């Protein structure tokens, strides 16, 4: 049975409960609601009132920073890769011309840029792995108890 059929067969919610909250209470509820996977506040509050389990999304700030850095590095590496492809096409079309030396120098500069970005990626990966592992003991990392 599909979820559409399940929803059709479910009883309709026709009853209302009205409550008043202070500004702080409302903020606190909304703050907790934003940390969950629920799309609407009614579903979240209904789960709380019925003592059902609530799915909470926990965000790892250092992982978010890592993802942002990796996206930037990926974009830079993509641009460098495009430049390398353009240079390779030109080198292949000018095999016998004097401008080949200039194109080879361009290729060398792009390669240096790729090497620099690769080093940046390694440094960032090491920084993030160090920060993630700081909270863990050596036993946690090795899996020993």
- 95 secondary structure, DSSP code: T
- Return the domain boundaries, the chain: 15-58, 61-135
Q: What is the pLDDT of residue 25?
A: 94
Cβ 110 vs Cβ 90: under 8 Å: no
Q: What is the pLDDT of residue 91?
A: 76
Cβ 46 vs Cβ 15: under 8 Å: no
Cβ 110 vs Cβ 84: under 8 Å: yes
Divide the 145 residues of the chain into consecutive groups of 10 and give the mean pLDDT of each group.
Answer: 63 89 94 85 89 76 77 83 80 72 80 84 79 55 43
Q: What is the pLDDT of residue 142?
A: 42
Q: What is the pLDDT of residue 36?
A: 83
Q: What is the pLDDT of residue 143?
A: 45
- 15 secondary structure, DSSP code: -
> How deeply is 44 buried, as exposed, middle or buried, from its count of CB atoms within 10 A (0-12, 13-18, 19+)?
buried
């Amino acid at each position: 049975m599909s979820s559409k059929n399940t929803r059709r067969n479910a009883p309709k919610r026709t009853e209302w409960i009205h409550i008043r909250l202070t500004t702080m209470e409302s903020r606190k509820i909304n703050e907790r609601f934003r940390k969950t996977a629920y799309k609407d506040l009614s579903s979240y509050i209904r789960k709380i009132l019925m003592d059902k389990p609530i799915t909470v999304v926990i965000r790892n700030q250092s992982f978010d920073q890592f993802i942002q850095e990796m996206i930037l590095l990926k974009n830079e590496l993509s641009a460098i890769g495009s430049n390398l492809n353009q240079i390779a096409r030109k080198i292949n079309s000018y095999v016998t011309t004097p401008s080949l030396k200039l194109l080879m120098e361009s290729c060398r500069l792009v390669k240096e840029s790729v090497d620099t970005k690769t080093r940046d990626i390694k440094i960032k990966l090491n920084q993030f792995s160090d920060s993630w592992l700081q909270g863990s003991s050596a036993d946690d990392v090795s899996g020993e108890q």
